């Protein structure tokens, strides 16, 4: 056969044929495997049973499309971002000859930025050395890292009711039992707090005492002090979440951070962020607190993301150095106060028994209660139809949700848009008034 070229060609073609068949066959197998995968049931961890999509994020997805004026998100105004200063800060970052900003960095954060944060905290009376500062990817990550290192399933956290939705999301994902404490305009009710501390032995009290989200309220100094005293007495850790503290409308007033009262740095974790005063996209937050907890959180961060974005940290370091951030924050406060007052005057113009709110002294939100017959979650689709959005209050509650509440953001829209958005919202609310059950 080897002497016969035709025989050789025949064998050659035969082998080629086998390869083509095999290829086609394997191609078919791949297709079959892929379609089997599509039907695959994944064995998720038990803890995902408690994970829920955030109502606010889901609403934002809808309202960011089209001509809807949104009072929904906790968003700063893009037109007030310090874009020129940020360009310069990034330019300086890229011009450095060592390219270090593009390298892996330390888990705890960029050392010169940690120094600046330690100084910034000192101005608030929180005296913590820079090696106590952990830079995080937003203060949201600080909440998550804290929960990761502190909680076992079934552990108890005390919070206000309502409270920050995404903190609840974190706690629930670690299978924590969140228990609400009674509170009023000045903060948590000390009696209820102490009773729950004694009875439930919580691991932590989570609070947003300065311009809370969603309530927009400020705790009195006495309640801050009492919370710390009770935490010391019952050996409970306080998590003080302070993203809005700098957005303050009356610069004369002083809102003492609870962390500043904790002189020995034993009981209070304090987190804040550049999201509301510079830009959220930098994803830069920080946390300070008892050294052992911060060290453990840094270890958890190693496993989570190794470190926060180095480029952003170095650029932020330049921005803080070269740019008058305090003056910028004053500009923001002035603009946001004006918008808050516009929204307030429009809320005041609604004639409706049962509509109440407290004028915010800072932060980004009005928390509005409507008459009990108004169910704000059902009102939302009608409002979106009319071109305005808000967040219904119910998802912010741990329990006993007041369905007639809503959160309105006043920082993202300019005054003209606030006027138009409120006109639309008031129309929708008034329609409810007309359909309301008549009082006898
Ligand atoms: C109370 C509270 N904590 C934390 C965060 C998270 O902020 P960051 O953008 O720094 O992750 C927010 C954001 O809106 C907030 O309102």
Question: Percentage of the chain surpassing pLDDT 70?
Answer: 88
Task: Identify whether residues 308 and 337 lie together within a single domain.
Answer: no
Task: Identify whether residues 307 and 376 lie together within a single domain.
Answer: no
Question: Would residue 440 count as lying in a domain?
Answer: no
Average pLDDT, the chain: 90
Distances (CA, A) of 122 to 126, 287, 323: 5, 13, 19
- As a whole number, mean pLDDT of residues 414-423 equals 95
- The number of beta carbons lying within 10 Å of the beta carbon of residue 255 is 18
Q: Is the pLDDT of residue 2 over 50?
A: no
Ordered DSSP codes for 58-103:
HHHHHHTSSS-EE--S-PPPGGGS-HHHHHHHHHHHHH-TT-GGGS
pLDDT digits (tens, 9 = 90+) for 331-388: 999 999 999 999 999 999 888 888 999 999 999 999 999 999 999 999 999 999 999 9
Q: Is the pLDDT of residue 1 over 50?
A: no
Task: Identify whether residues 428 and 280 lie together within a single domain.
Answer: no
Q: How confident is the model at residue 12 (pLDDT cuts 50, 70, 90)?
A: low
Total domains, the chain: 2
Task: Identify whether residues 374 and 422 lie together within a single domain.
Answer: yes
Domain boundary, last residue among 267, 291, 322: 322
- As a whole number, mean pLDDT of residues 169-182 equals 96
Task: Identify whether residues 190 and 168 lie together within a single domain.
Answer: yes
Question: Would residue 177 count as lying in a domain?
Answer: yes
Q: Is the pLDDT of residue 110 over 60?
A: yes
**Residue-level pLDDT at 376:** 95
Task: Identify whether residues 257 and 227 lie together within a single domain.
Answer: yes
Question: Would residue 161 count as lying in a domain?
Answer: yes
Q: What angle do CA 393, 226, 143 make, to 5 degrees?
A: 50
Q: Is the pLDDT of residue 410 over 50?
A: yes
Cα–ligand 1 centroid distance for 440 (angstroms): 45
Q: Is the pLDDT of residue 214 over 70?
A: yes
Q: Which of 140, 272, 308, 407 to mutate to test the pocket of ligand 1 (most atoms within 8 A of CB)?
A: 140
**Residue-level pLDDT at 286:** 98
Distance CA 94, CA 338 (A): 38
Ligand 1: atom nearest CA of 274 is 10
Ligand 1: atom nearest CA of 212 is 1
Ligand 1: atom nearest CA of 285 is 10
Q: How confident is the model at residue 233 (pLDDT cuts 50, 70, 90)?
A: very high
- As a whole number, mean pLDDT of residues 163-169 equals 96
Ligand 1: atom nearest CA of 272 is 10
**Residue-level pLDDT at 26:** 47
Least confident of 4-13, 43-52, 216-225, 272-281: 4-13
Q: How confident is the model at residue 43 (pLDDT cuts 50, 70, 90)?
A: confident
Domain CATH code at residue 331: 3.90.1150.10
- As a whole number, mean pLDDT of residues 293-306 equals 98
Task: Identify whether residues 330 and 318 lie together within a single domain.
Answer: no
Greatest CA span in the chain, whole angstroms?
Answer: 113
Cα–ligand 1 centroid distance for 276 (angstroms): 8
Cα–ligand 1 centroid distance for 62 (angstroms): 21
Cα–ligand 1 centroid distance for 427 (angstroms): 31
Ligand 1: atom nearest CA of 280 is 9
Domain CATH code at residue 310: 3.40.640.10
Whole domain around residue 416: which residue ranges? 55-80+326-434
Domain boundary, last residue among 270, 297, 322: 322
Q: Which of 137, 210, 213 to mutate to test the pocket of ligand 1 (most atoms within 8 A of CB)?
A: 213
Task: Identify whether residues 60 and 117 lie together within a single domain.
Answer: no
Q: Is the pLDDT of residue 33 over 90?
A: no
**β-pair type (268-273, 237-241):** parallel
Question: Would residue 50 count as lying in a domain?
Answer: no
Domain boundary, last residue among 259, 292, 322: 322
Task: Identify whether residues 311 and 414 lie together within a single domain.
Answer: no
Question: Would residue 406 count as lying in a domain?
Answer: yes
Q: What is the DSSP letter of 48?
A: G
Considering Cα of 274, then 275, then 280, then 283, what sign does the dihedral take?
A: positive
Question: Would residue 43 count as lying in a domain?
Answer: no
**Residue-level pLDDT at 51:** 75
Q: How confident is the model at residue 44 (pLDDT cuts 50, 70, 90)?
A: confident
Q: Is the pLDDT of residue 34 over 70?
A: no
Q: Is the pLDDT of residue 438 over 80?
A: no
- As a whole number, mean pLDDT of residues 411-426 equals 95
Q: How confident is the model at residue 399 (pLDDT cuts 50, 70, 90)?
A: very high
Q: pTM of the full predicted structure?
A: 0.89
- As a whole number, mean pLDDT of residues 62-90 equals 91
For residue 162, whether the previous peptide bond is cis, meaning omega lies within 30 degrees of 0, is yes
Residues at CB less than 6 angstroms from ligand 1: 74, 138-140, 164, 208, 213, 241, 243, 273, 275, 280, 285
Q: How confident is the model at residue 28 (pLDDT cuts 50, 70, 90)?
A: low
pLDDT digits (tens, 9 = 90+) for 419-436: 999 999 999 988 877 776
Task: Identify whether residues 303 and 349 lie together within a single domain.
Answer: no
| List of E strands, 126-222 | 134-136, 156-159, 177-180, 183-184, 187-188, 204-207
Ligand 1: atom nearest CA of 141 is 11
Task: Identify whether residues 256 and 400 lie together within a single domain.
Answer: no
Among candidate residues 429, 419, 340, 413, the one with its CA nearest the CA of residue 380 = 429
Question: Would residue 44 count as lying in a domain?
Answer: no
**Residue-level pLDDT at 435:** 72
Task: Identify whether residues 172 and 190 lie together within a single domain.
Answer: yes
Cβ(304)–Cβ(106) under 8 Å? no
Q: Which of 54, 275, 304 to mutate to test the pocket of ligand 1 (most atoms within 8 A of CB)?
A: 275
Question: Would residue 408 count as lying in a domain?
Answer: yes
Cα–ligand 1 centroid distance for 244 (angstroms): 9
């Amino acid at each position: 056969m080897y002497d016969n070229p035709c025989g050789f060609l025949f064998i050659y073609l035969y082998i080629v044929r086998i390869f083509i068949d095999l290829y086609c066959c394997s191609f078919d197998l791949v297709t079959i495997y892929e379609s089997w995968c599509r039907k695959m049931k994944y064995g998720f961890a038990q803890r995902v049973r408690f994970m829920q999509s955030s109502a606010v994020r889901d609403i934002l997805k809808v309202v960011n499309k089209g001509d809807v004026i949104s009072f929904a998100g906790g968003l700063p105004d893009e037109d007030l971002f310090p874009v020129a200063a940020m360009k310069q800060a990034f330019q300086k970052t890229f011009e450095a000859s060592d390219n270090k900003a593009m390298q892996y960095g330390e888990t705890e954060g960029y050392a010169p930025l940690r120094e600046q944060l330690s100084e910034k905290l000192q101005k608030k009376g929180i005296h913590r050395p820079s090696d106590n500062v952990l830079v995080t990817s937003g203060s949201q990550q600080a909440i998550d890292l804290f929960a990761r290192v502190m909680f076992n399933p079934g552990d108890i956290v005390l919070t206000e009711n309502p409270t920050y939705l995404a903190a609840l999301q974190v706690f629930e994902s670690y299978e924590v039992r969140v228990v609400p404490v009674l509170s009023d305009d000045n903060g948590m009710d000390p009696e209820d707090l102490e009773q729950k501390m004694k009875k439930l032995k919580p691991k932590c009290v989570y609070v947003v005492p300065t311009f809370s989200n969603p309530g927009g309220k400020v705790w009195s100094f006495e309640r801050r002090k009492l919370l710390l005293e009770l935490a010391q007495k019952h050996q409970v850790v306080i998590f003080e979440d302070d993203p809005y503290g700098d957005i303050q409308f009356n610069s004369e007033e002083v809102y003492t951070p609870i962390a500043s009262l904790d002189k020995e740095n034993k009981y209070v974790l304090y987190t804040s962020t550049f999201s509301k005063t510079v830009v959220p996209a930098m994803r830069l937050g920080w946390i300070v607190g008892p050294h052992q907890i911060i060290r453990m959180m840094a270890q958890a961060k190693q496993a989570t993301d190794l470190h926060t974005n180095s480029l952003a940290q170095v650029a932020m370091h330049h921005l803080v150095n070269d740019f008058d951030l305090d003056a910028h924050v004053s500009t923001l406060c002035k603009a946001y106060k004006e918008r808050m007052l516009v929204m307030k005057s429009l809320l005041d113009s609604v004639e409706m028994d049962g509509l109440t709110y407290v004028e915010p002294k800072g932060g980004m939100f009005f928390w509005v209660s409507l008459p009990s017959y108004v169910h704000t979650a059902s009102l939302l689709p009608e409002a979106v139809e009319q071109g305005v959005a808000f967040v219904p209050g119910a998802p912010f509650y741990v329990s006993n949700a007041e369905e007639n509440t809503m959160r309105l953001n006043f920082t993202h829209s300019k005054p003209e848009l606030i006027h138009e958005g409120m006109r639309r919202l008031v129309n929708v609310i008034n329609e409810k008034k007309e359909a309301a059950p008549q009082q006898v």
